[in-house]
């Protein structure tokens, strides 16, 4: 490591530790960043959102803070966290009201397993769609639509997924479902329960607060 590089890292680290407010390094269209922004808004946490999308200085700072140089990255005084799931778990434990996971360990374990499946199955397909060229998008798009529709009955029996209260699973599903029109996916009548669930989520003030301008426009411009 060069002396200049080491000096810059020391300066960035010192600036981070000197912050009185939590900071989130975020990208304006990232589905994983959106997950964290939703949790922050739901809990009403005071945070500085640092958008690195078109900010070279912020991007350079991020590269010093996160060995993977990726968003989301959360800075809370001398603690630096990356990975949306790790960040959201921390936020829910650090700021327990309102709780976003049940207290009962069995119910919590069940939701965590569902959360894992959402990320492994649905998020994987969503990211494949986002990264695919026009000729390669049809297969993952169809797979994602069919998988969501097949789960329709899970959304019929409570306001939120497997719960009467909003959970971290819902905070992960909301950014995905917001992007369905962008992915060219309509659920139709077979997905009616999912569509009702989506409306409950996106009508929340916290969800609206979590949206960046780019995220609003990418859906509204389709209308």
Residues 111 and 70 in one domain: no
Which of 68, 94, 120 terminates a domain? The answer is: 94
Contact in structure between 12 and 65 (CB atoms under 8 Å) = yes
**51 and 113 housed in the same domain:** no
Cα distance between residue 116 and residue 134, in whole Å: 28
Long-range contact pairs involving 77-80 (C-beta distance under 8 Å, separation at least 24): 77/16, 77/17, 77/19, 78/16, 78/17, 80/16
> How are beta strands 22-26 and 73-76 bridged, if at all?
antiparallel
Print pLDDT tens along the chain (223 aa): 555 555 555 555 555 656 678 999 999 999 999 999 999 999 999 999 999 998 999 999 999 999 999 999 999 999 999 999 999 999 999 999 999 999 999 999 999 999 999 999 999 999 999 987 767 899 999 999 999 999 999 999 999 999 999 999 999 999 999 999 999 999 999 999 999 999 999 999 999 999 999 999 998 888 6
In this structure, what CATH number is given to the domain that contains residue 84?
A: 3.40.30.10
Domain end residue (candidates: 94, 124, 155): 94
Domain shared by 116 and 186, yes or no: yes
Q: What is the DSSP annotation of 22-59?
A: EEEEE-TT-HHHHHHHHHHHHHT--EEEEE-TT-HHHH
Q: Which domain holds residue 28?
A: 3-94
Domain count, the chain: 2
pLDDT at residue 21, as a whole number:
85
């Amino acid at each position: 490591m060069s002396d200049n590089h080491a000096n810059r890292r020391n300066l960035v680290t010192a600036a981070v530790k000197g912050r009185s407010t939590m900071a989130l390094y975020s990208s304006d269209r990232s589905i994983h960043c959106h997950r964290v922004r939703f949790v922050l808004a739901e809990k009403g946490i005071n945070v500085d959102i640092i958008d690195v999308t078109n900010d070279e200085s912020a991007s350079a700072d991020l590269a010093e803070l996160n060995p993977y140089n990726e968003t989301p990255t959360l800075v809370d005084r001398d603690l630096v966290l990356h990975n949306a799931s790790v960040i959201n778990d921390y936020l829910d434990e650090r700021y327990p009201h309102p709780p976003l996971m049940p207290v009962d360990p069995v119910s919590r374990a069940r939701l965590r397993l569902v959360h894992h499946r959402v990320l492994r199955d649905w998020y994987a397909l969503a990211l494949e769609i986002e990264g695919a060229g026009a000729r390669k998008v049809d297969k993952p798009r169809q797979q994602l639509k069919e998988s969501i529709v097949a789960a329709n009955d899970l959304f019929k029996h409570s306001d939120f997924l497997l719960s009467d209260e909003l959970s971290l699973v819902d905070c992960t599903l909301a950014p995905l479902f917001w992007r369905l029109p962008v992915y060219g996916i309509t659920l139709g009548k077979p997905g009616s329960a999912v569509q009702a669930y989506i409306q409950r989520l996106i009508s929340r003030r916290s969800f609206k607060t979590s949206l960046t301008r780019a995220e609003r426009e990418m859906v509204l411009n389709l209308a």
